[in-house]
């Protein structure tokens, strides 16, 4: 059993931006040399414009941006961003077979930016297997 790590940086524009990172995750798996095991990323969704709009609308219904969040009292205006991130989660485990992550027909691995302003983010991929 081995564990290999990789990381890459993203620049986002803020406000529920969904970035397809499937190719970067697949490359990290390939480069690790692991043939069978699992990898960690963020979440999966079909990276299709209508569905991405539906995701943003659903998050707005569940956790409205303009609510009186107690977190916002300290000057930060991103209580909704933190709550949305908690609901979506920050990691994902995927099976790896034949040196590639296994995804459903319509699934891509995506990073979802939930903060209100552009950010530079670092994504960590850890591949565990043999």
Record the pTM: 0.87
48 pLDDT more than 50? yes
What DSSP element (H or E) covers 60? helix 49-62
Give me the pLDDT at residue 46, please: 92
Q: What is the mean pLDDT of residues 71-89?
A: 88
- Sheet with 108-113: list strands edge to edge: 17-20, 108-113, 43-45
Q: Do 109 and 25 contact (CB within 8 A), yes or no? A: yes
Give me the pLDDT at residue 41, please: 35
Better-scored residue on pLDDT, 37 or 40: 37
Query: Architecture of domain 2-129 in CATH?
Result: Sandwich (2.60)
9 pLDDT more than 50? yes
The structural domains of the chain, with segments of one domain joined by +, span: 2-129
Give me the pLDDT at residue 56, please: 94
Q: What is the mean pLDDT of residues 57-63?
A: 96
Considering the chain, what percentage of its residues have pLDDT values greater than 90?
71
Better-scored residue on pLDDT, 116 or 37: 116
Contacts of 110 (CB under 8 A, 6+ apart): 18, 19, 20, 21, 22, 42, 43, 44, 45, 47
């Amino acid at each position: 059993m081995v564990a290999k790590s990789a990381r890459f940086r993203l620049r986002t524009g803020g406000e529920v931006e969904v970035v397809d990172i499937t190719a970067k995750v697949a490359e990290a798996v390939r480069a690790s040399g692991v043939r069978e095991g699992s990898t960690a990323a963020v979440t999966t969704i079909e990276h299709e414009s209508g569905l991405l709009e539906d995701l943003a609308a659903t998050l707005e219904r569940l956790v409205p941006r303009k609510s009186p969040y107690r977190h916002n009292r300290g000057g930060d205006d991103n209580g909704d961003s933190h709550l949305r991130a908690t609901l979506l989660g920050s990691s994902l485990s995927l099976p790896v077979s034949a040196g590639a992550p296994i995804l459903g027909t319509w699934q891509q691995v995506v990073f979802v930016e939930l903060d209100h302003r552009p950010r530079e983010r670092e994504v960590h991929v850890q591949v565990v297997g043999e």
